[in-house]
Each structure stands twice: as structure tokens, then as C-alpha cells.
A and B are shown apart, each in its own frame.
Chain A
């Protein structure tokens, strides 16, 4: 059995009567990039705060590298590094002073180590400037640098792309993927924008209203998207062609002008066209319409909301 770098078990956090996080469980294995995706107020930050020990769970357990956070706080927390909400640093210090400050809280972090982390995040040039003169992106990098100083097993980043421009987002994504590949470090990252996470995460958990709706790997997502794709074929006799498809595949088909439309994966398309041509139907064109991840995400949330309303 793979040892989990982070294991969250039935985590609940209540503010008064309302549960901001409701019975959430997930695991992260070594080297995995795990995304918590959900709209604002979904409970992402609250989950992260509980994992980092900033907030006490109402219920549930957290294990970091197999160590109970509740029972052995100091040992467990030393395997973790992160930024929660904003990359807040001491603004009156330089980036380097900040890093030295945080380094001094752990045993044996050498200057070489600090320098290598600075290089890793690409901040060599500006590291001796005062933090108050940094852009958000620079703060984000130094923030990550401080989280990496003590070689944590897991890096936790709460909405790291927030406020970054598209270039910044792309750089961040590249950097994180590189980090995970090179250092085998696990990363827990949260965001309210699915598309940003799509190319970054190995696994995503969709979360809303404090609950995890789905946990999927990247493959599962891709497959899911394919399953949802629409195939459009322009033919000379759409009514006949539609009937043929319905009879053979037992799936609903809709018509629009000379085009028939139905749901189907890529792999079955040749079979359909062969069948139609055998029946003497001329094909003028084939087209597939894939749902974006965003659409799936929105649909999922809508379903959840509708369920909520019915209940």
C-alpha cells in the first residue's frame, strides 16, 4: 500500500450550526499534484487551514506523512510547507531576510540551501529588495521559497494563481509541475478556476458547500469529457440516417436541418460512418463538439444546487 503523504479523514468544521466543511476525506500520494476546486466560499481555505493547524477541526483526522496532526503537531507540521490565502511576508524585511528568518526556525538550514531555493523560484535578482516593493508574483515566489526551505513532503498552496496574469499563471503551472517531477514533492493546490487546474493536477476534488462532489484523476476527467461529446454528421437523408443510428446503438439522436447529432466517443465514429455508407447514405461532413471542463464543472454544481433546492 502506498503511504499517503496527506490523509484527510471525515473532516468537518462547523461555524456555529453551519458546516463550512462537511465530512471531507481524501488522500494524496507522493509526487501527486492534488487540486481542490470549488467556487468562492466552497470551503477550500477552511480545509487548508485545518490541514496546516491554523484551525481546529470540529471532527475528523488529519495525517501528514502518516503522522497525526492532532497528536504530534510539531512532528507532523514540520513535513509541510505552504502559503495560506495570500503570500504574506514581513514587508519591512528584504526577501532574503524573510527567508533567513523562516530558515532560522528549523534546525540546520544552511545559506546554500536558502540560495538554492531562491534560484529554484527564480528570484535571484530581486531577493535583496524589500518585500514592500515586490509585485504579487514576486511575493508568490518568495512565499513558495519559504515553504520549500525545510524540504517538506507536501506543499500547500491556497489559490496560488489568484491575481496573477495569464503569463504568471502559466509560469506558476510550469514551475509547480517541474517541482513535483524533480523533487517528488506532493502539492495540494486550491483554485476556483477549473481550467487553470486542468493541466496542472493529477487529481482534482470538486468541492462545493463544504462537501466533495467528486474526486477524479486527470484520465478520468478526459474520459468523462469524451463520453460527453456530441458527434454531428451532415448527410443527404437525415431522417433515415437518424433511425439507423437509433436502431443500432439505442441512443437518442436529434436532427437539425441535414445534420444528425448524438453522443458518442471518438473510437466508435468509424463504425457509424461505415454503417451509414453501407446503407447508401452520403456523408458531407463529420464534426465533434466536446464539452469544456468548465461546462462539466458548472453542470455538476448546478445539479448539486438543484438537489439542494429539492431537499
Chain B
């Protein structure tokens, strides 16, 4: 079969189209040098200004109210501790909010049912003015109570939901349906009543007031899908993350961070003491103390991120991606992204490492280091080339079955001493080999262009794989992984094209459908990353580079950058995508094989 594979491969090189695609790749490399304009990357290391002495830096660090100072850093640690305590101790704002809502609900039940519903009949059966007056009075009081309760609830809710940390705890509740029913019932009573005799204008008056009240309620209605559910809070109290970050726990990141900060501050203090009397400090000393400050700032910051994201991750992990996406303030939440961030900072915190010492995974949105280097350009150029390579390979794959069938040459291949399975396998392998060769050649060429234009920066890259484990990787290794993932992507569309070309015996259908799906997947990637169900479509799950730590960049940048950035769907993981990919791939391959083996060749 190797003979057949070699012959098939050689045949592809004899096709004129190979020159076209090579030309396109070269053109792409040239174009890339002009279009490659990533956003600048944030420098995670903080600036503490420029002073003459170490002591002046020290004073700034101690006294400043800015986020880089010690005060705010320590505050962040306390905030994290409070955060944990708030949920660990049971009594918290969300629970209070629930109680408030229950009060509103109770009032609504009595006022809505017995009072408002009975209003009209009571009013008509009232025989004298005194009765009417008392009825009026009664209702006005109750209405006012209800209004106050609702407004009170609304205010608290809004205050709470403006704090991002708590709103994730609210979940969709059925209660709102009951409340809405009340509202509509009362509304219809008033609508009926307004046509009846109303000598002293009481009903009209009540109606007007009610409508004003309904406006508040309507407003509130927007919040109703997110009424907090007690079950969430109860479950939440026992979650692992809370145990893990428990202040008393030796292993807890809080304890670890606090100990580190204390030790670090001792170092800073002593360093300053030893240099305090200098009138002009050595540059390396100044640099040293700024580095300490940065470490201090980073540790407090990482702790805060770990605690807040950790709590969110553990709370949200009980829910499906669908549920998460409808939470208030979480309609854009991506579970994967939250977890990736948590894992990254947990890794840094646990290992005493600092973000600013590492590069970030390659992306088309920002350079991996502060400055653009050859790897960034090369990744960008390769990403663009992959478009053409995918299209070319799809065309080849379609041609190798349906194309040769309609040209009649498939007959000449089928009468060689190779069974049909071997023939199919050789053809598929040759197509894939071309894909691999083109990707390899493009990356090599773009790497050379990158090296010449920008130089290469070999700073290690901090990679979070599958949002669950962090690694430090050499950029070359990550670049190789990027190449591999692009090949895996190309491979999918190639197989798809072989499949369609075998099943429908149509060259054009295979090319059209495969390329259409390819473009659809790019669009889905951009517009629908937060619709978890879309994550289940096999062909949007074929680029695995997104599982190597750059999901925080998805859906950022220009449309062009978004198209080039594969995004992780909220509920997906590397393994879910992997299984989906392998399954689709295998099924397609088996069907193709069976059909091709059995079919008579025209």
C-alpha cells in the first residue's frame, strides 16, 4: 500500500493546482507582514514611579491609596477572606435578599388575592359612604405596604447584583410565574372596572395608582428570572472550594498567600532598613525593591482571583452550560474561561511564580511577549495559510474519489493489485500527507520570515491545558502543538470531503459542503460562543489549540481576529471535543470505507 500512497502523493505534485496553492501561501506570507498588527499586550508588572532612593519607593508602597500599594493589597486579601467567610458562615446578603422576596410574595398573595380581587364586589356592595371610605383607606394602606416592600427589595437586589460576586448565586425560579399571574389578574379586574359606574372616581383613582405601582413591578419583572434559589446557597455552603480556601486550613491558598505576604513584607522592610540612609540608591537596588512590590501586589491579586473564580467555578460546576448562560450578569459567562483563569492563578500562587516572567500562548489578538516576536508573526501567518490549505485539501480530497470517478481514472486504479480498502486508505493518507507537508512548509517559511523581521523570543510560555492543568512550555514546543492542532483541523475537513465525495459521487458537492461547513464553523465561533448547544456540533470542535490557554482572548479584538481565534464553548472541555471529534471522524471514515468497498465503479 505504501507504493500506492507514494504514487498518489506524487500524482498530487504533478497537478497544476499545487503551484497555485504554493503561490497563495507565499502571497499569504507577504500579506501577513502587512496585516499583522496585534493589540499591545498589558504589562502585568506594575510601575512604582521613579525615585532617587529605595526609601522613597518604600514610602510610596506603604502610603499610596492606589491598587499597587500595600494597603490595597492587604485589603484584597481581607476581601478574599470575607468573601469566603460570607459563604462559609451561612448568613449572607443573598439569604437576606431571599427573605425580603418572600415577604413581598406573602404580601402579594394576601393583597392580590383577597383584597384586590375582591375590590370591585366589595365596592359595589358597600352601602354607605363610611363603608366606602374605610374600604378605600384599607386598600390604600395595603397598596402602600406592598409598594414599599417591592421597592425595598428592588433596591437591595440591585445593590447586590451590581457586585459581580454574588449574582452568580441567583438562579431561575418558578416563583416569578405565580407573581406574574397575580399581576395580570388584578390588571384585568381594573380594566373591567373602569367601564362601570364610578361616581366618586375611586376605581379610576385606584387604577392610576396601581398602574404606577405596576411600572415598578414591571421593572422588577426583568429581574424575576433571576430570583435567588435557596437550594443554590445551601448546596454552595458545602462545596469543596469553600473547604479548600477555609481560612483555618493549612493548605488553603489564603493561608499560603498570607504567609508569603508576611515573609515578603519582612524582606521588604529589612531591605529598606539596610538602604534607608542612602541619599542615592543603586539602580539594581531600586529595581530589586520594585520587584518585591510587584510580587507583593501579584500575590494579593492572584489570591483574590483564585478565591473569587474558585468559588464561582465550584458553584457553577453543578449547572449545565445552558443554566449558567441565563444567570443574570452571567449571560456572557463562559465556564471554561472562569476555570482557566482560576487554574492559571492557582498555579502561579502555589508555585510562587509571577505572570510577568512568562509569555502568553500564541494568538492573533496580542503578542505573546510585550514585543512582537517571530513566533507571533509565524503563528498568525500559519493561521491564515491554514485557510488556503484547508480549502486546497478539501478540493483534493473531493477530487481523489468523485473527481477521478467522473474522469474515469478511478477505474484504472481499481484494477491494480490493491483492494478497495487499500486504495481508499492510500488516497486519504496521500491527501492528509499533503496537508501536513503544506502546514509544515508554511510554518517553516513563516518562521524564517518571522525570524528575519522580528527575531525570535524564547521566553517560556505559561500554558493552561483544558482549563485544568498549567504548564510552562518552550515556545517552540507550543508552536509545534499549534501546527499539530491546525493539521487536526485540516484533517477533519479532508475526511469530510472524502466522505461527501464518496457518498454523493459529486466533486462539487463535496467541495461546496465541506467549505461551507468550514466557514459556518468560523462564524459560529465568533457569534455564538456562549450558546452551549452549538458546542455540540462536531465541525465547530475541530480546532484544539483553544484548549491551550488562550480562551481568555476569545471574542476580543476585531472581527478578523475573532474569526482567526478558535473559541471554547461554555460547556466544552478538551475531552468532550476530543470524543466528539474522534467519534465523528471514525463514523465518517467507516461509512466511507463501507460504501467505497461495496460500490461498483462506473
A contacts, CB < 8 Å to B? 49, 52-56, 73-75, 77-78, 80-82, 84-86, 88-93, 97, 101-102, 104-107, 146
| Dominant SS among interface residues on chain A | loop
For B1-45 the 0/1 string (1 means CB < 8 A from A) is 001101100110011100000000000000000000000000000
A102 pairs with B14, CB closer than 8 A: no
| Dominant SS among interface residues on chain B | helix
Q: Which of B3, B16, B408, B417 contacts A78 (CB 8 A)?
A: B417
Closest CB in chain A relative to B412 CB, distance in Å: 7
Tell me, in angstroms, the Cα distance from A110 to B408 when the chains sit together: 26
Closest CB in chain B relative to A300 CB, distance in Å: 30
Q: In the complex, which residues of chain A have a beta carbon less than 8 angstroms from the beta carbon of B11?
A: 90, 93, 101
A77 pairs with B416, CB closer than 8 A: yes
> Nearest B residue to A146 by beta-carbon distance?
B412
> Nearest B residue to A83 by beta-carbon distance?
B412
A56 pairs with B415, CB closer than 8 A: no
Known contacts A93-B11, A146-B412, then 17 further A-B pairs from the complex at CB < 8 Å, ordered by chain A residue: A49-B600, A52-B411, A74-B418, A81-B415, A85-B408, A88-B408, A89-B409, A89-B412, A90-B11, A91-B407, A101-B10, A102-B416, A104-B3, A104-B7, A104-B10, A105-B417, A106-B416
- Is B90 part of the contact surface with A, judged by Cβ < 8 Å? no
Tell me, in angstroms, the Cα distance from A91 to B399 when the chains sit together: 14
Q: Which of B229-284 contact A (CB under 8 A)?
A: none
> Nearest A residue to B416 by beta-carbon distance?
A105
A77 pairs with B417, CB closer than 8 A: yes
B415 pairs with A82, CB closer than 8 A: yes
A88 pairs with B412, CB closer than 8 A: yes
> Nearest A residue to B600 by beta-carbon distance?
A55
Closest CB in chain A relative to B417 CB, distance in Å: 4
Tell me, in angstroms, the Cα distance from A49 to B418 when the chains sit together: 16
A102 pairs with B412, CB closer than 8 A: yes
**Given contacts A74-B419, A88-B408, A88-B409, is CB(A105)–CB(B7) below 8 Å?**
yes
B415 pairs with A73, CB closer than 8 A: no
> Nearest B residue to A76 by beta-carbon distance?
B417
B601 pairs with A106, CB closer than 8 A: no
B14 pairs with A52, CB closer than 8 A: no
Closest CB in chain B relative to A190 CB, distance in Å: 15
Q: In the complex, which residues of chain B have a beta carbon less than 8 angstroms from the beta carbon of A107?
A: 3
Q: In the complex, which residues of chain B have a beta carbon less than 8 angstroms from the beta carbon of A93?
A: 11, 14
For B405-433 the 0/1 string (1 means CB < 8 A from A) is 00111011111111100000000000000
Tell me, in angstroms, the Cα distance from A105 to B11 when the chains sit together: 12
Tell me, in angstroms, the Cα distance from A107 to B409 when the chains sit together: 21
Number of interface residues of B (CB under 8 A): 24
- Which 8 pairs from chain A and chain B are nearest by CB? A88-B408, A55-B600, A78-B417, A74-B417, A54-B601, A104-B7, A105-B416, A52-B415
B3 pairs with A105, CB closer than 8 A: yes
B415 pairs with A105, CB closer than 8 A: no
With a 10 A CB-CB cut-off, give which of B415, B418, B601 has the most chain A CB atoms: B415
> Nearest B residue to A156 by beta-carbon distance?
B415
Q: In the complex, which residues of chain B have a beta carbon less than 8 angstroms from the beta carbon of A106?
A: 416-417
A75 pairs with B600, CB closer than 8 A: no
Closest CB in chain A relative to B359 CB, distance in Å: 46
Tell me, in angstroms, the Cα distance from A27 to B411 when the chains sit together: 24
- Is B196 part of the contact surface with A, judged by Cβ < 8 Å? no
B415 pairs with A77, CB closer than 8 A: yes
Q: List 22 A-B contacts (CB under 8 A).
A: A49-B600, A49-B601, A52-B415, A53-B414, A54-B601, A74-B418, A75-B417, A82-B415, A84-B411, A86-B408, A88-B409, A90-B407, A92-B14, A92-B15, A92-B16, A93-B11, A102-B416, A105-B3, A105-B4, A105-B416, A106-B417, A146-B412
- Is B163 part of the contact surface with A, judged by Cβ < 8 Å? no
Tell me, in angstroms, the Cα distance from A143 to B16 when the chains sit together: 22
B600 pairs with A56, CB closer than 8 A: yes
Q: In the complex, which residues of chain B have a beta carbon less than 8 angstroms from the beta carbon of A78?
A: 416-417
Tell me, in angstroms, the Cα distance from A80 to B408 when the chains sit together: 18
Q: In the complex, which residues of chain B have a beta carbon less than 8 angstroms from the beta carbon of A90?
A: 11, 14, 407, 409
Tell me, in angstroms, the Cα distance from A307 to B414 when the chains sit together: 39
Closest CB in chain A relative to B418 CB, distance in Å: 7
> Nearest B residue to A85 by beta-carbon distance?
B408
Q: In the complex, which residues of chain A have a beta carbon less than 8 angstroms from the beta carbon of B16?
A: 92
Q: Which of B561-602 contact A (CB under 8 A)?
A: 598, 600-601
Tell me, in angstroms, the Cα distance from A49 to B598 when the chains sit together: 14
Closest CB in chain A relative to B389 CB, distance in Å: 21
Q: In the complex, which residues of chain A have a beta carbon less than 8 angstroms from the beta carbon of B408?
A: 85-86, 88
Tell me, in angstroms, the Cα distance from A105 to B8 when the chains sit together: 10
Q: In the complex, which residues of chain A have a beta carbon less than 8 angstroms from the beta carbon of B600?
A: 49, 54-56
Q: In the complex, which residues of chain B have a beta carbon less than 8 angstroms from the beta carbon of A55?
A: 600-601
Closest CB in chain B relative to A144 CB, distance in Å: 12
Tell me, in angstroms, the Cα distance from A93 to B409 when the chains sit together: 12
Q: In the complex, which residues of chain A have a beta carbon less than 8 angstroms from the beta carbon of B411?
A: 52, 54, 84-85, 88
A105 pairs with B14, CB closer than 8 A: no
Tell me, in angstroms, the Cα distance from A90 to B7 when the chains sit together: 13
Tell me, in angstroms, the Cα distance from A52 to B416 when the chains sit together: 9
A105 pairs with B407, CB closer than 8 A: no
Tell me, in angstroms, the Cα distance from A102 to B415 when the chains sit together: 11
Closest CB in chain B relative to A148 CB, distance in Å: 13
Tell me, in angstroms, the Cα distance from A55 to B417 when the chains sit together: 16
Tell me, in angstroms, the Cα distance from A104 to B11 when the chains sit together: 11
Closest CB in chain A relative to B411 CB, distance in Å: 5
A56 pairs with B598, CB closer than 8 A: yes
Q: Which of A73, A92, A104 contacts B419 (CB 8 A)?
A: A73
Tell me, in angstroms, the Cα distance from A229 to B416 when the chains sit together: 48
> Nearest B residue to A52 by beta-carbon distance?
B415
Closest CB in chain A relative to B449 CB, distance in Å: 31
Closest CB in chain A relative to B425 CB, distance in Å: 14
Q: In the complex, which residues of chain B have a beta carbon less than 8 angstroms from the beta carbon of A86?
A: 408
Q: In the complex, which residues of chain A have a beta carbon less than 8 angstroms from the beta carbon of B3?
A: 104-105, 107
B415 pairs with A53, CB closer than 8 A: yes
Closest CB in chain A relative to B426 CB, distance in Å: 10
Q: In the complex, which residues of chain B have a beta carbon less than 8 angstroms from the beta carbon of A97?
A: 14
